[in-house]
Structure 1
Amino acid sequence: MDITPCATDDDYEQWRQVRIAVLPYERTASVAELRESASADRLMVLARQDGVVVGHGLAARSDMARAGSVVPRVLPEHRRQGIGTALLHHLVAHVEGLGLPTLRAGADDEGSLAFAHRFGFEEANREVEQTYRVDGPVAVTPVPDGVEVVTAQERPGLWEGAYERFGLECLADFAVDTPLDVSPERWAQDWLGDPMFLALHDGEVVGCAGLGLDADDATRAENGLTAVRRDWRGRGLAVHLKLVALDWAAAHGVEEVYTWTQDGNAAMRALNTRLGYATTRVGIQLSRPTRRT
């Protein structure tokens, strides 16, 4: 078996096809998006047997502080042949080379969870997937007084400029086991929805809600970050922004919008339920030290 880094557009497309096969219920980034996210810290590989792609892997600096993410995936018909193990070791070595002390991974089925436990990963947190079926225009609640809603795409630089005052506060409030550590560059690139709706008051961003459209299925989208600055909470702004995003989805042919929310974020899960989202899946977040003792 050969494990080689993705280099060409064809490599990235084959990497995409493995993810689509393993996670058909989630959007997969386009080749252009994968290329845009490339960095020295990020490793994307393909596993081949006799020249045929049988799996892929991803290792990168995590949004969790002092941690690296490892994602080995093997096509179902090629599992239990040691391919996942080889991929995991390859990805762990990359994270070790970054000098990060903790590994992060995820599982949302019993097979993946059993595999992770074999290599010392333990549950650190849980996420809940909730799904909204779009069946027509969405009634949007009134925008709070003094607030203007625009898109980040209409106002270049506004999202990037919101990192210090808005972004860091929102990131600090995530219900996670380890604080998030998101650089301004990653905020600008990885956390921006398209579209991303921004609530402005006196020219400052006080709330956001975005969507990530599915490049392979125009009827499906994922909610991006939905957040409101602390001093603006309790005024109906999160509801308004989320409904604006859902109404945009309805107007653009999207039939299903799904979102992943931390299990500990009861307020957002309750809001989603009130808006008509149904709980559809649970994902388990896992961690372990980089070097096992």
Structure 2
Amino acid sequence: MALEITRCVTDDDYEAWRRVRIAVIPYERTQSLTELREGDKPERLMLLARADGEVVGHGLAQPSDSSGGGSVIPRVLEGHRRRGVGTALLERLVAHVGELGLPTVRAGADDDGSLAFAHRFGFEEVNREVEQTYRLTGPVEPTPAPEGIEVVTAQERPGLWEASYERFGLEALADFAVDTPLDVSPERWARDWLVDPMFLALHDGEVVGCAGVGLDPDQPTRAENGLTAVRRDWRRRGLAVHLKLVTLAWAAEHGIEEVYTWTQDGNAAMRTLNERLGYDTTMIGIQLARPLAGLLGNP
């Protein structure tokens, strides 16, 4: 087998990268070509693996949202596994994390094969995420908004999401139930954490809550919940329930049949809220990490 690993450069490369992801994890939304292009930064490495000229896998490495970490994602199409493709991809991805000067390598697994692969290279579990899915069978009626709250979309008010980073975003990120604090720059907040539509709860013109719907260009009847968060001083007033129901009502009106969300296993409050609304637990994802030092020859 002649294995070749190259960077994604052309639109055809990016589309081939997308097709690998869709084939390996069809149950998750894959970014569109436009979104991938918009997120193309020097610190992000996207790879394609070809065996005898045929695309058999892909890779992604970039700074993770966790402080001091670099995410690595090697994926290989079924039927081409256990031939060294994943290891070759991982080696390139880990080298990139080293070039970025990040001391920790982070990865994820949601099936036994991926987990075994990660364990072979010394990755250990650090967090778990729970996927919960809401199946829409008819219209959804939101609860009334708490007094003093106006709900708009970020798309209706350009610049409002970006301006929410300091007062709202940093607090929401700090409340994630994860092993390492999140370190998300204002640029990544604006680029990676905004979905369309993103509903914003305003009090006196200031963002105090959000919830959104990420549409899937490849599966038009399935969508992912964007970040659902409420500022601490506005919790326990029914705002999270209201915002979540607003997103589900919008989804129902736009022909969505399933909405899924990923929540940290340690965030019992949000998982319980989802269960109350009728979400079912559908999958468990395992987050893993290990030091860069000693991994595939790194000093």
Shared fold per TM-score greater than 0.5: yes
3-state SS in 2 of match to 1:269: helix
- Displacement of 1:247 after TM fit? 0.3
Q: Work out the CA distance in 1 between the residues paired with 2:246 and 2:139.
A: 10
* Structure 1 portions without partners, runs of 5+: none
Q: Could you say which residue in structure 1 is the equivalent of 2:20?
A: 18
Please name the residue that 1:249 is paired with. 251
- The correspondence for 1:138, drawn from 116, 128, 140, is 140
Query: Quick one: which amino acid aligns to residue 139 of structure 1?
Result: E
Question: Is residue 2:111 matched to residue 1:109?
Answer: yes
Alignment of 1:251-290 (within 5 A): 251-290=253-292
Asked if the contact 1:48/1:55 (under 8 Å) is kept, the reply is yes
Task: Give, as a single letter, the amino acid of the residue that structure 1 aligns with 2:164.
Answer: A
Measure how far apart 1:142 and its partner are: 0.3
Whole-angstrom distance in 1 between the partners of 2:33 and 2:258 = 23
Contact 1:120 1:292 in 2 (8 A): no
Among 73, 76, 92, the alignment partner of 2:75 is: 73
Q: What is the count of residue pairs matched by the alignment?
A: 293
Q: Choose from 233, 236, 247 the match for 2:235.
A: 233
Question: 1:34-45 to 2 correspondence within 5 Å?
Answer: 34-45=36-47
Q: Distance in 2 between matches of 1:248 and 1:10?
A: 33
Aligned match of 1:9: 11
Partners in 2 of 1:62 and 1:215 — Cα distance?
25
Q: For 1:17 and 1:258, how far apart are their aligned partners in 2?
A: 21
Q: Alignment partner of 1:280: what SS?
A: strand
Q: Could you list the per-position Cα deviations for residues 224-272 of structure 1 after superposition, in whole angstroms to 9, with x for gaps in the alignment?
A: 0000000000000000000000000000010000000000000000000
Aligned to 1:206: 208
Number of the residue aligned with 1:172: 174
Pick the aligned partner of 1:84 from 83, 86, 98. 86
Structure 2 Cα separation of the partners of residues 193 and 83 of structure 1:
33
Question: What does 1:214-229 correspond to in 2, within 5 Å?
Answer: 214-229=216-231
Structure 2 CA distance, aligned partners of 1:60 and 1:284?
Answer: 19
> Secondary structure of 2:143's match?
coil
- 1:89-104 matches, within 5 Å, as 89-104=91-106
- In structure 2, the residue matched to 1:49 is 51
Taking structure 1 as the reference length, the TM-score comes to 0.99
Q: Take 1:193 and 1:210, find their aligned partners in 2: how far apart are those partners?
A: 6
What SS does the corresponding residue of 1:78 show, helix, strand or coil? coil
The equivalent residue for 2:190 is 188
Q: CA deviation at 1:291?
A: 1.6
Q: TM-score, normalised by structure 2?
A: 0.97
Letter in 2 for 1:44: M
Structure 1 segments of 4 or more deviating over 6 A? Answer: none
Q: Shift in Å at residue 139 of structure 1? A: 1.3
Unpaired runs of at least 5, structure 2:
none
Letter in 2 for 1:94: H
Separation in 2 of the partners of 1:290 and 1:259?
Answer: 30
How big is the shift at 1:58? 0.1
Distance 2:11 2:158 in 1: 28
Aligned to 2:16, the other structure's residue is in SS state: helix
Compute the RMSD of aligned alpha carbons.
0.6
2: CA distance, partners of 1:245 / 1:108: 26
Distance 2:84 2:286 in 1: 23
Taking the aligned partners of 1:56 and 1:291, their CA distance within structure 2 comes to: 24
Cα distance in 1, alignment partners of residues 133 and 231 from structure 2:
25
Q: Aligned equivalents of 2:294 and 2:211: distance in 1? A: 40
CA–CA distance in structure 2, aligned partners of residues 73 and 291 of structure 1: 23
Supply the AA of the counterpart residue of 1:151: T
Provide Cα deviations, 1:191-217, integer angstroms capped at 9, x if missing partner: 001100000000000000011100101
